[in-house]
Structures are given as structure tokens and as C-alpha cells.
Amino acid sequence: MARFRYTARNTQGDAIKGELEGASAEAVAERLLALGITPIEIAHRGGNLPKRAQRSGLLEPRVGTDDLIMLSRQMYTLTRAGVPIMRAINGLAETSRNPRLQRVLAAVGDSLESGRPLAEALRQHPEVFPNLYVSIVQVGENAGRLDEAFLQMARHLELDQDNRQQVKTALRYPLLVLFAIAVAMVVINIFVIPAFSSVFSGFNVDLPLPTRVLLAVSGFMVDYGLLLAALLALGGVGGACYLRTEAGAYRWDRLKLRLPIAGSLIRRATLGRFARSAAMALRSGVPLLQALTLVARAVDNRYVEAHILGMRSGVERGETLTRTAQGTGMFTPLVVQMLSVGEETGQVDDMLEQVAEFYEREVEHDLKRLNTYIEPVLIGAIGGMVLVLALGVFLPMWDLASAARGG
């Protein structure tokens, strides 16, 4: 535990100073408030925490999906073995390899010591524990099945991570090829074409159109290359800032779903993630309206999130889940029919799980064939680039050789 110096005021308004041990400044502040003391300033003094855990939040590594999966698996094992929650949390805080997670778990332990439920303690750290995670833990805590809640979250996070990794792996090759083509074009236009330009200028003949186009593009990049790079950099920074806004994130997420080839893949992977998350929430006992709200935030796509929240609004108005899902236009007729069967039989969670499996099978099948779709496009792009370069470079030489033979 680290030591903190604090300046505070007691109930009479007198200024007091002192030191306390705690996992974080927030934990010390909570302890002071519990004693009827209002903190004014809390400063870290150093203590027995590892140096990694004393770093500021900006320098700490983020808590990734792997960390949450490991935490959920460990909490499942500990709670199933009957280890008290506070002891389990404090033990994991001491052994965690991630400094940020170590600090957060220590703060969660302090909250548990003050009498707060586990779900409420986790909810104070939304940057680590998403809303869906906290809600499932809360349901498991209220039902006395906390071990099952952690096991469900571990399996859900593992499946979600596998699906995301499959999509990234499939898109890595085409993106790498496109990047290589862009670099090759820049190198050719800045270093190769100018070398031929001086040769062509001595021919004293009208150059073919492909050659004139190559020379014009090369001249523009040589003369304005730095300005173009600066504009691209500013555009990239401006675009990144825009994507951080609500409107920018919404439009980018909508655009991703409309991309050729990859858009359909991303859409089905996102809908599969929604269906599996909703199935898990409903099976855990979360009410339908609350489950839709939580899952909407978990799909990681603002456009799909808006449609899911629209489904929730429709259910609030008394419409069936099937009708609201059909109204979004995002689900296939087969999926809508499965949801209808689920509502009629009272097994919506089972049907949603089958929907998730349906989309996941489709995504897995298309991922295996993705390179088959993309390779002809990439080969055509590379072939076109080589053809333009060959025509632009060799046509003037061919015309000059033909004129020499004719002379």
C-alpha cells in the first residue's frame, strides 16, 4: 500500500494534515469522508507498492481483453473454491502483472472494505470494466451465482477476442499490400521517373500521353512533395480528432459497414457479437430492456448501437423484439424468423445464441475465402501500375528506335 499526505478540514472547519495508507488517492479520500473529514488535497508520498504501480495513469499500459479474461478465470476459480471476495480481490491485486489493473483492483478492495457490493465497486472504474461486465457480475452477485457470472464473462470475452482477431488477420494481408503499393509509387515518382525525365527531354520529340502523365505526376510530387506530406499529416490529425467526436465516430462506423467486401464481413461480425452478448445477458437474468441497453454499448459500433437502442425504444412502446429487429433492416430474414420462434416459445436467449453461431459461421467461412476475393483486385492494381510505368518509360524509347531505323 502507498502512503499519501492529505490536507483536509474537520467538521468544525479546522485545517488538519496527516498521512494515510491506501491503494489510491480516491481510496484515501473515501476513508477520510467516512471519518467525517473533508479532503482538500491528497498527494502521493511513496510506499510499498511496486514502482510500476506508482506510475501515473498516462504511463501505465491499458487493461486489455487478455487481462480481463485472466481476471475472470481467476475470480471464477477463487469464488468457486469458496475464497471470500475481499481476499480474492486483494490477492489478485498483489499478483497482477498489469500496473493499472493492480491499482484498480486495490481500489476495488478498498471499496469492498467500506461495505460496497462488488458490482458497485467495479462500476467506479468504467475504463477497465465495461457496463456489460458490471451488470453480469451484479446479476450473479444478487443471485448468489457469482462464480457462474465470472465464467460466462470469461467465455464471452474469449469468443469476442477470437472473432476480432480473425477479422484483423484476414484484413492484414490486403492492407499490407496496399501500403507497399503506395510506398512503391512514391519512390518511383520521386527517384526513378526524374532520372528518365532528363533523358526524354533530349529526344526533341512529342512524348506519348502515358509518358507525359508520368512526368507531370512525378514533377508535382517532387515540387510539392513536402507540402503534400504536411497536408496529409494535418488531414490525418484532423480526421483522428473528428473521429473522436460523436458525429465522426457514428459516420465512420456507418462507412465501415458499407465498404466493399469487408463491410459485409464487419457487419455480420458485429451482429454476431450483439447476439451472443444479448443471449448471455438474458440467460443471466438481465431484463430485456436493460440487456439491449448494455449490449448496445458493447458492440463497439455507434451505427449498430443506434439501431439496437431503436429496438429498445420499440420494445418500450410495446412492439415485439422480432418486429423491431426487422425494422432495423440489419438482420437477415432467417434471423428474424429465429427471433420470432424464440419469442413464441419464451426462449429468446437460446435463439439469440443460435443467431450468434449463424453469423459467426458465416464470418469464419468468408474469412477463409477473403483472400480469394481480394487477390484478383490486388493483382489487377499491381498489373495496372506496372503497365502504366512500362508504357510511360518504354514508349518514347520505342518511338526513338523506330525513327532511327526509318532514318
pLDDT by residue (tens digit) across 232-286?
999 999 999 998 888 898 999 999 888 877 788 888 888 888 888 888 888 878 8
Tell me the chain's radius of gyration from C-alpha atoms: 30
Decide if 22 is inside a domain: yes
Domain containing residue 143: 65-158
- Say yes or no: 130 and 240 in one domain: no
Q: Hunting for cell 521517373 — which residue is that?
A: 193
- Say yes or no: 175 and 311 in one domain: yes
pTM as predicted: 0.63
pLDDT score at 205 = 65
CATH code for the domain of 116: 1.20.81.30
- Say yes or no: 103 and 10 in one domain: no
What is the H or E stretch that residue 98 is in? none
Considering only CA atoms, which of 344, 266, 361, 301 is closest in space to residue 336? 344
Distance (Å, whole) CA 128 – CA 263: 29
pLDDT score at 394 = 76
Q: For the chain, how many structural domains are there in total? A: 3
Low-confidence ranges of the chain (pLDDT < 70): 1-3, 11-13, 23-26, 44-60, 201-205, 371, 399-407
For the chain, the distance separating the N- and C-terminal CA atoms, rounded to the nearest angstrom, is 93
Decide if 54 is inside a domain: no
- Say yes or no: 357 and 401 in one domain: yes
pLDDT score at 287 = 85
Q: How confident is the model over 146-175, as pLDDT tens digits?
A: 888 898 889 888 887 887 787 777 778 778
